Structures are given as structure tokens and as C-alpha cells.
Chain A
């Protein structure tokens, strides 16, 4: 057996088993009855004490969803999901009503986040650092349990809270923007989300404000047979800037769990949103049992002139990933960027990519996608770049690189390009490579073991993307790349 096949086997064997976040939190929950019908939606809406228009919006989405078919065009295979067999709402039991202070939060929950490396007690965070650089919204199953540093942020005029809370405190803002980027009927999962979404983060950065901290939401699915449908809405008003991070994990369970999120970003004139994701949902075991089905719709609307969005994602988890963070470049001179690392190992299936829709003049987009496949996994980059009639001077650069480890995995690149404007220039480059026996031996001769060698080579391969992550995240992501592929690091 060659070094490469041996390594590939070891990598395939260990990777998915090394999932560090697989523990379950034992906590009393309150759930909606199993299954999905109008009553489920009324239940969720009532739980959140939502305004009437919100309930109507949900019900409308639900009725439309009933007429939609589950999409099958992605290169992923899974048994039909029985949408009546799921719970659509699950929340840790609360002591009382109303917004919670940290003291009201079950210590079990705080410990859960601590175990995940996300301290939520502000005193604890402040004990460690002089100037906290990050505020966290912690979402557990269907609800946000706590949001840190809200006060510090509100002094700068920044609103950062659970979307359910925003519906109470700033209903006019939510109503103005919700569903304006991802319309209710956008696609099967987005429509489902519109009907049943339970929580997620809401961010509003007022005109001219450079958000003083990184904002971050940490999603955790805990409950069995429960779908997580979160909805995130971020608005950067004129000249505003925010860097937002999203992290996710879930316990190790034999059943598959459904996660269907919607993220909408709205960027006004001269504003910028930097959105980073480290997705590490439970990927399933080495035989492909269990794991999260991750069907996500993420889209940014660069409405304003000179607006800018950059999506950076590190996708290492989930049994199935179906995700295409996109940019609608509506404002003249607006810019969209997509930097992605997608690692698939074991039996994971990834179908991910982006859409860059050039509508305005002199709009620019840049796509760098790095796919790494090991085990018997499959990874597909699917991208669309289009320029509409008015998009004169539109430019896109796309680079898709795939790295294969072993010979049982596969990588595919499906780029679509459409242009209706003669002056648009699109460039596309794609490469596929393998980690060679020679490279591995060279590293081992210098003293690295096989796992360290693979991690080093893969991190080198991902470098162009890693450098776009915020500093602390990049270090985490680098480690995660190592762990997902071989379990030796950390």
C-alpha cells in the first residue's frame, strides 16, 4: 500500500470520528407539537408574541411552501425528509417571561457554551481581556439565550439582538427589510424558513458608524428530531461597517437533523459588511450515519453605490451542505467577494458556491473557492456569475481549486456565466490537484508525521482564503482544517 492510500484511509477513518463538539446538553425544553401545519406556525408566532403582520407573513409563506417541490438539482443524495416528523420549535424552559438577563439563564446552558469555547458571562470575558473585541448572540435550538455587550454596542447606536426581540423593540426596521433580499418564495427551504423561523440575529448599524466590536452569533442545535430555522438580518446603513462571524456545532446523533437558515444582508451607499462563517455542524459518523442536513440561503443586496460585501466561509461540518452565499450588485461600483474553503471527509456531501449578480455599472466581484475532499466524500462548486444589460464595466474573477486526498473522493466544478453586456469581463480559472506521495514523504523526512503533513499541505492550499478571515478566527479555522482531516491537532 502506498503512503498516500494509507494516509487517505487513516484520514477517512479518523476525521469524522474526531468531532469534538458532539456532547448533548441535558436540559428541560418546551416544544411545539411534532409536525407542521398552520397551528404550528401560530404556536411559534404566539410564543414570540409577534405582531399580527408577522403571523400573516408566516402563514402566507407556509401556504406557498405547500405548493413547492423540494429541489433535486444539487449533487447531493439523501433519503426524503419527512417534514411531518420534525419538531419546529424547541426552547430551553425559561423561568419567567420577557427578555432574560444573564442571571436568568440556566447555568447548564452557559456551561454548554463555555465548553464550546464561547464564554457568555461578561465578567468572565472581561476578566480575560481589557478591551473585549467581540459580542456574541448565542442561539440554542430555536431561541437566543443571551446576547453579550448589548449595552456597549447600543452606546454606538448599534442594534444587535435576537430577531424575536427586534420584532418587539424595532418592528418598523424588521418589517422594512425582512424578505427584501430573499423573497418569501425564493426557494423551497427559504420559504419553509419564512414560515417557521424561530430565532437568529438582527443587526443594524446606523449611518456612518464603524461597529466597535466584531459581532458574532453562535448556533447550537441540541434537541433531537428538531429542525433549526434561524433567520439573520443585517443592515449596514450609509457608510457603516461591520464584521460579523457565525459559528455552528451540534451533538453527535444517529438521526439526521435539519438546519435551514436564511441570512439577508442589506448594504447601503459606501457601507461594508464582512460576513464570516465557520460551519462545523456534526458531519455524521464514519459510516455516514447521522449528521446535519444544512440547507442554507444566504444573500447580500448591495443596494447602495460603492457598497461592499465579502462572504468568507470555512465549511467543515454537516452531512450535507447546500449553500450559495450570493451578492446582488445593484449599486454602481458595488463589490462582492466570496472566499470559501469546503472540506468534505467520510461520507459528507458538499454542494456549495456563490452567485454574483451584476446589475449596476462598474460592479466588481471576486470568487476564490478551495474544495478539499477526502474519504468517500463528494464536493461540488456551483457558481453563477451574470451581468445584466446595464452592468457596463462589470468585472469578475473566479478561481476554483480542488484538492483530493485519496482516490475514493470526488470534486466537481460547475461554473455558469451569463452576460448581456458586451463590456463585462469575466475570468475563470480552475485546478484540481492531489496530495502526492512525494510531498508527504518530503514532509515526513523533515520530521512531520502524516497528519501534520496533511494539515500543513491543506493549510497551504487554503491560504488565499484563510487570510480573509478575522485574525482570531483564522487561527481557529486553521486548527479546524487540521482536525477535520486528521484529528491530530488541538
Chain B
């Protein structure tokens, strides 16, 4: 099978504590994999490790992305190579207009890839198009990044960034939490619009409902730092009924 990202026996520590205890995942181009699992099982840790957060230490295992060793790359290099993480808790940057942030990010990535900067008119057109799709208002783009945004607005803004950066690999960490029913639909449509033969996604969620909209190719259950079960989209339905009790035995 052709692979976009291959995670093998990945172990990682945070603050001296082992959180990921041997993860294996193979994600082919175009596939959507959902990850579910109890609180504290290591889902966000996995996304942070893949995005390259400094204080998350990989102690064993490997991750290859488009045939390259992902673990050797700095976070910004991974971003430029096409890794995008929609944060569970997006950060605020006071005084920096959302629009300015978006432009800085796009151009930083283009620079790293050796491409020309986007001209201001071209950038504006691009932002207008994508923000209309996600129902993000102009007024919000002028406000400082995430400052005073509601929980749902922050999540929407994450997906807007994803749409603009057009990454090869999207990690969505509980993007559905905090979204009202209508917003969930809009955001899911935004995500689905980005699905194509090449682009893969890792969708972390607690709720089957999101997977009704963003239908995954595979569902994995993460418990205590390991993938304890994998299946098709029906696995999510089963989990919704039975919960994680049967995987709890593994918990520390």
C-alpha cells in the first residue's frame, strides 16, 4: 500500500512520563482515519508529537511522512511540508489581526518551500473565498487572532487556516467540541471540501456525530497510549453504545 504517513512503534514522554507506548498507524494518501478513546489516553499527545512540539520527547519508534523522517524536522519545516494541526485549544495572539496572521503563515510556508510570496490582492481573494465557505465574517478577520473568540469561532478559524494552507496531512484534534449543531455542519462541509485523493486526515473525536458528516475510512481506539482496536466506520457506532469500558483494563 502506498503510504503518506507511517507511524511505527512510536513511544513518547511528556514531563518524564511515558504517554505513547508503541503506536502503529499507516495512512495512505486520501484516507481519513478517526481516533477515539477515553480522556487522557494520549490523543492530543500523538498530535503534538506529529506536529513536533519540543517538550514531547520521542523515545522509540519512527514516523515517516512522504518518505522523509518526520521526527528530524522542526515544527515549521513539518508545517511547510504539509502537516497541519487544528488545535484542541487554539491559542490567542493579542494585537495580531487574524488576517495578518494568516498572511504571515502562508508566506512563511511559501518561503520555506522556496516559492514567491502571495501578493496582497491574490491573498485577499483567496481568504474571502475560503472564509465565505466557512461562514467566517470579515469583521472577525480584523480582530486579533482568537482573542475574545467564542469556542466555536476559534474552531472555525482553525479550519479556515487549514483551508488556506492546503496541507497534505490534516490533524483535527476535537474540532467538533464547542461547535453548535449548525456550525458542526458548516465546519464538516469545509473539511469535506478539502478531501481529495492526495490529502489525508487524522480526525480525533469523542463523538460519533462528527463521523456522520466526515465519514472515516478507518476508526482506531486509543487507550493508555496504544491503539487497542481498529475497524471501519461502524466501530464508532459500536463505541457510542458500549463506551470504552472494555478497554479500561489497560488503564494505568
Check A439 against B55 for contact (C-beta < 8 Å). no
Check A3 against B55 for contact (C-beta < 8 Å). yes
- In the complex, whether B124 has a CB less than 8 A from a CB of chain A is no
Chain A nearest CB: distance from B7 CB in Å?
18
Which residues B58-105 have CB closer than 8 A to chain A?
A: 74-76, 78-80, 83-85, 87, 90-96, 101, 104-105
- In the complex, whether B141 has a CB less than 8 A from a CB of chain A is no
Question: Which one, B78, B83, B91, B95, contacts A438 given CB within 8 A?
Answer: B91
Check B79 against A446 for contact (C-beta < 8 Å). yes
**A contact residues, range:** 20 to 34
A interface secondary structure, majority: helix
CA distance A447 to B79 in the complex (A): 5
Chain B interface, number of residues (Cβ within 8 angstroms): 32
Chain A nearest CB: distance from B8 CB in Å?
23
CB contacts (< 8 Å) of B95 on chain A: these are 459-464
CB contacts (< 8 Å) of B51 on chain A: these are 441, 445
Check B54 against A6 for contact (C-beta < 8 Å). yes
- In the complex, whether A108 has a CB less than 8 A from a CB of chain B is no
CB contacts (< 8 Å) of A445 on chain B: these are 51-52, 75-76, 78-79, 83-85, 87
Check A456 against B79 for contact (C-beta < 8 Å). no
Contact mask for chain B residues 236-249; partner A; CB cutoff 8 A; 1 contact, 0 none: 00000000000000
Check B91 against A439 for contact (C-beta < 8 Å). yes
Chain A nearest CB: distance from B148 CB in Å?
14
- In the complex, whether A452 has a CB less than 8 A from a CB of chain B is yes
CA distance A460 to B101 in the complex (A): 10
Check B75 against A444 for contact (C-beta < 8 Å). yes
CA distance A6 to B53 in the complex (A): 13
CA distance A119 to B249 in the complex (A): 75
- In the complex, whether B144 has a CB less than 8 A from a CB of chain A is yes
- In the complex, whether A84 has a CB less than 8 A from a CB of chain B is no
Which residues A215-257 have CB closer than 8 A to chain B?
A: none
Check B96 against A449 for contact (C-beta < 8 Å). no
- In the complex, whether B208 has a CB less than 8 A from a CB of chain A is no
- In the complex, whether A442 has a CB less than 8 A from a CB of chain B is yes
Check A2 against B55 for contact (C-beta < 8 Å). yes
- In the complex, whether A173 has a CB less than 8 A from a CB of chain B is no
> What are 18 A-B residue pairs whose CB atoms fall within 8 Å in the complex?
A1-B54, A2-B54, A2-B55, A3-B55, A436-B91, A437-B54, A442-B87, A442-B90, A443-B93, A446-B165, A447-B79, A447-B80, A447-B112, A449-B76, A449-B108, A452-B104, A456-B96, A463-B95
3 nearest CB pairs, A to B: A460-B95, A460-B96, A447-B109
